Structure 1
Amino acid sequence: MATYVLIPGAAGTPWHWHLVEAALRDRGHHVIVVDLPNDDDSAGLLEYADAVVDAVGARGRDGGGVVLVAHSFAGFTAPLVCERVRVDRLVLVTAMVPATGETPADWWTNTGYEQARRERDAHDEGRAPDETGLFYGDVPAVLAAAALGRQRRQSGTPFEEPWPLTSWPDVPTTFLLCREDRFFPAPFMRRVVQERLGITADEIDGGHYVLLSRPQELAARLEGYAP
């Protein structure tokens, strides 16, 4: 049995992981879903990491088998946790990959994100998706509406803080790319992962919120990554 620690992305809440949480529990695993201080303007990246460490508690100090799973913006938080918790594997699910000294606000320009978005829009004949299509395009409509309603206000504070690590943590890392992601287009993320982590991303069908559109498939992938 592994312990999965699931970290939401920007504006995300534990609810956004609830289907994957249930699927992993059904498979016999222990699951911790972190509630981040997204709407707290006094909380930065270190406070986000504190929230994860506090949620993991003694399991991260005394036991093995911790699989840390970060969605989207949580890519800036999860590596900080690996410096303080015994993590057997870090899994980034369509997540941002930071560089030393980089703020999340600068990540978009540094990675060439806007060019990737323009290429995506050109491929779609200039029709940029709305918020629902961007994040929840492949999520059933009722579930997508519920997800939008449960989003929390996201403070800009952590986006202005430089990522403090001087190198990527010495933890086995897997990146799971979503092939139909409209927010982080697949060709863009393949390049970023190769350039910044020096690895080839694993891939799964689905969009940015694959945790809602394909929870059983995602849970199976996560189970396969356990030590």
Structure 2
Amino acid sequence: MNVEETFWNASIEELSNGYIFSKEEYTCLLCGESFVDGIIYPMNEALYEAKRAVTLHIQENHGSVFDYLLKLDKKYTGLSDHQKELLQHFKNGLSDKEIVKELNGGSTSTIRNHRFKLKEKEKQAKIFLTIMQLLNTEEKNEDKFISFHKGATMVDDRYAITETEKQKVLSTYFKDGKDGKLDTFPSKEKRKLIVLQNIIQHFKVTKIYTEKEVNEILKQIYDDFVTIRRYLIEYGFMERNKDGSEYWVKG
């Protein structure tokens, strides 16, 4: 399952829950961890059915769906840092007077004005989502833009890639299929992104990798694994700690 694509294709209700239910599995939208319906999962010295297990997983590994979404980059939320801070205070149930105290300044009328503007933004978002949903029902699959990773360092026209374009690039550079070896590494930016997006599918979202483990996986895909590893970091597909001993898929 492509975690990024599933995340962006999820409904508002599914995003709010933090998981989707499909093919007898509850899948975390934030990392891709799955829990099969009918199986009992041991967690915190207790046993839970799959639906409860995925909820506990989200709480323990991601804090909350609200916190996770609020931490997303502005290019995805459209929210300024100040708006995010206010929303966190609203979520915590603080009164306007208490928020003023937390911010060390301002006035209750200013906070009320922010509440009003955010409510107006919510109304606009509902209308826009409805318009786009109506548009998407008329749009052909081959004309639809592909979804990209939430860790993208800069979203610009390089990311304007249709499904048709993606499949053409993959067939060109992965001649033995998308799970096979990379023939050559492209020089054009758009093609790089498509190839890297395909390569990152070989890594688990929830796993911490050593540099050796990353290299071993990449060697199976392309001889110049160092170049691939560098671009995965540079384009925001992966992150690593300062000494380079740990790597993980950027969520």
Higher relative contact order, chain-length normalized (CA < 8 Å, sep 6+): 1
Say yes or no: TM over 0.5. no
TM bin (shorter chain): under 0.3
| Higher percent of residues as helix | 2
Q: Which of the two has higher C-alpha Rg?
A: 2
Name the TM-score, length of structure 2 as normaliser.
Answer: 0.25
